[in-house]
Structure 1
Amino acid sequence: MTGEAAFRAGLLDPRQAVPTGLTGPDDDIAGRYAVYRNNVTVALIEALASAFPVVERLVGEAFFHAMAREFVRVHPPESPVMALYGSRFPGWIASFPPVAALPYLPEVAAIEQARRESYHAADAAPLAPEALAARSPEAMAALRPRPHPSARWVRCRHPSLAIWARNSTRSDLAKSPAGEVLICRPQAEVLISAAPLGTAETLAALAAGASLAEAMPTGADHGALFAALFAAGALILRGDNR
């Protein structure tokens, strides 16, 4: 292990010895390194708390910080850009035994992460319903729009959107059932809503290049799907659509 690699590894693992070759203004190299190590860990924990405020509220500050400490030790930042640090947190929570009795918690974390990703995604002009008004049903079926760059979708087996809403500022979503969640930022504001069954499947298919006819699931309420996608501004036209 190189000196730089040893320095990085030791920052998040207190069991690691102080890297060799460090120098300082006095002989307390171990003490200075310990302070720096603690500051790095605290900063990462605070970044997670800022990114997942509802998760922190649900489990309590002390427990969240202990849980986050475990996470940062196995998942250090992969990029110097900290805006989206913690993208693996929802999946990691799902395998963290101390919260096994809270099966909705990973889904709440996934909603928070999706909301954060949506906020930082690229801008694009959403497809307006009026742009389709003059098209025949056949022409519409053949269209191949793609999801808006900020569109995110989460499948929830539990009423996780309602749990998230009751612990944030969205009381209008506090009775949302288990199902699908659609998140998008077509303009300046991130929109989040309960979505009809089939929304996630439709958007995933469109992202893979399917046409509208191919993407819409059989048996789904296509009218409700269109309404949800347009209300969220979740579609844009590809350059090859006419």
Structure 2
Amino acid sequence: MTMLDKGPTYLEPGLFEGAPMRMLRGLKVHANTVSHARLVALEETFPKTRECLGHPEFNELCRDYIDYPGVTGFSLDQIGRKFAEFLDARLVADEIRDLVRVEWAWLESYHAAEAVPLELADLAGLSDAAVLDMEIVLHPSVRTIGFDAPPHEVLVSEAPGLANAAALMIVRPQEQVLMSPLDFAQLAATGYAAEPVRICNLLASLGELQDGTELLPTLISLIGTGAFIGLRGFQA
């Protein structure tokens, strides 16, 4: 916004047509329009955060955030990418910052690439050896979020069990975005499957945790949420 700060004398001669003051007024109108569009985009990106903070405080934070380094270069659909980082710098409460992280992860999951999820029915009829040899990887829509503080009550109400969970998983296996609390074993499994892995190796890695984890129930619960896609050995 240097042109707006320094006035019409900053404009290079011949850059625009018309009197300098008229050009400056036009630039101000354009800047106000862009600023308003960014504020609206942030409201639409973080509706739960806006509701929890209240409109005045949320709006004030958003206006300051627009000037945060790097934000002006974001498209409207990416405008919220650094909002959690900004709130951290502003020392906003952990539960609010985590709520922002969840809302942003939800949006990323919603817009993630389509992929056919591995389902329990896909394993029916396969031998134990074939199941163990199957190669899987996380569904592209999976996002996992750990928490720096007890999760906000808004999240707990939408994902029962989250208050005592190790993390939250967000995934869109079909049309609907789902939120599922994860225990430590489930969270570890999503980490192991971030890259393609055979089921036998995934179970072996979980077994090395030596925390009494029941291996198959952990795997089955994640398959039930649509957290994986099948690669080698999988028939869609």
Same fold (TM over 0.5): yes
| Secondary structure of 1:188 counterpart | coil
Gaps of 5+ in 1: 1-8
CA distance in 1, matches of 2:83, 2:133: 38
Counting helix residues as a fraction of each chain, which structure ranks higher? 2
Letter in 1 for 2:117: P
Q: Which residue of 1 aligns with 2:233?
A: 241
Q: CA RMSD in A?
A: 2.8
Contact 1:184 1:190 in 2 (8 A): yes
Contact 1:111 1:161 in 2 (8 A): no
TM-score computed with the length of structure 1 as normaliser: 0.77
User: Are 2:114 and 1:123 equivalent residues in the alignment?
Assistant: yes
Matches within 5 A, 1:1-242: 10=2, 15=5, 20-21=11-12, 22-26=15-19, 27-73=21-67, 74-76=69-71, 78=73, 80=75, 82-97=76-91, 99=92, 102-137=93-128, 139-160=130-151, 162-166=153-157, 170=158, 173=160, 176-215=163-202, 217=206, 218=209, 219=211, 220-238=213-231, 240-241=232-233
Q: CA deviation at 1:136?
A: 4.8
Q: Which residue of 2 aligns with 1:6?
A: none
More RCO (CA 8 Å, sep 6+): 2
User: Max radius of gyration: which structure?
Assistant: 2
1:70-128 per-residue CA deviation (whole Å, 9 max, x = no partner) reads 22212325454x3343122223322223x1xx111221111111111111111111101
TM-score computed with the length of structure 2 as normaliser: 0.79
Letter in 2 for 1:235: F
Contact 2:113 2:140 in 1 (8 A): yes
CA distance in 2, matches of 1:230, 1:44: 38
| Secondary structure of 2:181 counterpart | strand
Q: CA deviation at 1:133?
A: 3.5
Letter in 2 for 1:29: M
1:113-164 per-residue CA deviation (whole Å, 9 max, x = no partner) reads 1111111111111101122244455544443311111111111233326433
Closer/same/farther in 2, CA of residues 120 and 20 from structure 1, 3 Å limit: same
Letter in 2 for 1:204: G
Gaps of 5+ in 2: none
| Count of equivalent residues | 223
